[in-house]
Amino acid sequence: MEYVYSAMVLHAAKKPVTEENITNVLKAAGVEADATRVKALTASLEGVDIDEAIATAVAVPAAAAAGPAPAGSADKKEDAKEEKKEEKVSEEEAAAGLSALFG
């Protein structure tokens, strides 16, 4: 993850995202850079508009969160509550089984 972060730092600083620059950012952060991972990152970012990628990544969750609640969402909440109750019972049963094993 620190490799991607280094590329984002370079992009935010308006510096070219190159192997050398990524390696320097990682070294400054105290991370020993793996040359293969650095090369893979720069190759995967080649031709990518980072601003557009960030805008797209941010816009999708925001659009989903801003949308109206679908019909039947109350049913889903009730189902989730029932599942939690079932999980709790299952955990209690599991604990009882373990206590039987270990006395």
Q: What pLDDT digit, counting tens, does each position of 31-55 carry? A: 999 999 999 999 999 999 998 888 8
Higher pLDDT, 63 or 36: 36
Average pLDDT, the chain: 77
**What is the rounded distance in angstroms from the CA atom of residue 63 to the CA atom of residue 58?**
9
pTM of the model: 0.55
pLDDT at 57 over 90: no
For the residues of 49-103, what is the DSSP string, one character each?
-HHHHHHHHHHHHHHHHHSPPPTTHHHHHHHHHHHHHHHHHHHHHHHHHHHHHH-
Q: Which residues contact 8 (CB under 8 A, 6 or more apart)?
A: 50
CATH of 1-67, one of 3.10.20.30, 3.10.105.10, 3.40.190.10, 1.10.10.1410: 1.10.10.1410
**What is the rounded distance in angstroms from the CA atom of residue 88 to the CA atom of residue 93?**
9
User: Taking the domains of the chain in order of start, what are their residue ranges?
Assistant: 1-67, 71-103
Q: Average pLDDT for residues 59-88, to the nearest whole number?
A: 59
